[in-house]
């Protein structure tokens, strides 16, 4: 059952559970795009193929808000907003350890190994690396964990996961990047909690939000 967070004539935002693919891959596992297409087909009694534009992705073990376009106009308008950094994506992450600085900005350079699907972090620009920046603030913490709010300034593969691991605070469950143990459902404690964008027509600012499936 698709959990719809926002919908208009051009766009639809839904909740992606951890473990679900946004888009189909070689595994053949059911993906969020297929589920949303089925939802639209049934809701509007549409024959044949349903148009659904992929605007951005979340990693498979991550949960949260995913925005799709229902029309080509919606696709082009929001894609342009993403390219020009006019959308705002906010995440929450539960990390290992107590983060001492209440807020900060992390700036690194990231290089992805496509074959291994793994990202390496550098403190200075190196060959084939991409600039990565995020802001964070501590919402709550104890001796074992910290709950962070993260505002992405750049959208790089595995960016939040690797930058937090790089400062010694891997995301809970993210054994790929140094977490001490996996979570039972193979998810990681990272959730895209809000996505703010401008509607395709009318120029209204809308925010689709969700609560993270983890807490401290």
Helix, strand, coil shares of the chain, percent, nearest 5, are 15, 40, 45
Strands 63-69 and 190-198: parallel
Name the token pair of 124. 């200075």
> 66, 186 in Cβ contact below 8 A?
no
| DSSP labels, 109-176 | EEEEETTTTEEEEESS--TT-EEEEEEEEEEEE-SSEEEEEEEESS--TTHHHHHHHHTT-PBTT-GG
| Cβ neighbours, 10 Å, residue 70 | 21
Is 185 labeled as catalytic in the residue annotation?
no
25, 29, 34, 59: the active-site residue? 59
Tell me which residues are annotated as active site: 59
């Amino acid at each position: 059952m698709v959990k719809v967070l926002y919908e208009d004539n051009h766009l639809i935002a839904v909740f992606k559970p951890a473990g679900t693919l946004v888009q189909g891959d070689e595994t053949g596992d059911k993906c969020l795009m297929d589920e949303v297409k089925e939802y639209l087909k049934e809701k509007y009694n549409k024959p044949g193929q349903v148009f659904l534009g992929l605007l951005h992705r979340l990693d498979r073990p991550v949960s949260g808000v995913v925005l799709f376009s229902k029309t080509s106009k919606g696709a082009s308008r929001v894609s342009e907003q993403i390219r020009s950094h006019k959308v705002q994506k906010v995440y929450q992450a539960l990390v290992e350890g107590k983060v001492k600085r209440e807020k900060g900005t992390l700036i690194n350079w990231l290089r992805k190994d496509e074959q291994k699907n793994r990202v390496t972090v550098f403190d200075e620009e190196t060959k084939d690396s991409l600039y990565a920046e995020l802001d964070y603030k501590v919402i709550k913490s104890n001796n074992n964990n910290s709950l962070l709010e993260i505002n992405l300034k750049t959208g790089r593969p595995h960016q939040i996961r690797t930058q937090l691991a790089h400062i010694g605070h891997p995301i809970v469950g993210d054994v790929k990047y140094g977490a001490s143990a996996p979570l039972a459902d193979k998810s990681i404690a990272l959730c895209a909690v809000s996505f703010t964008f401008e509607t395709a027509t009318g120029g209204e600012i809308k925010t689709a939000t969700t609560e993270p499936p983890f807490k401290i």
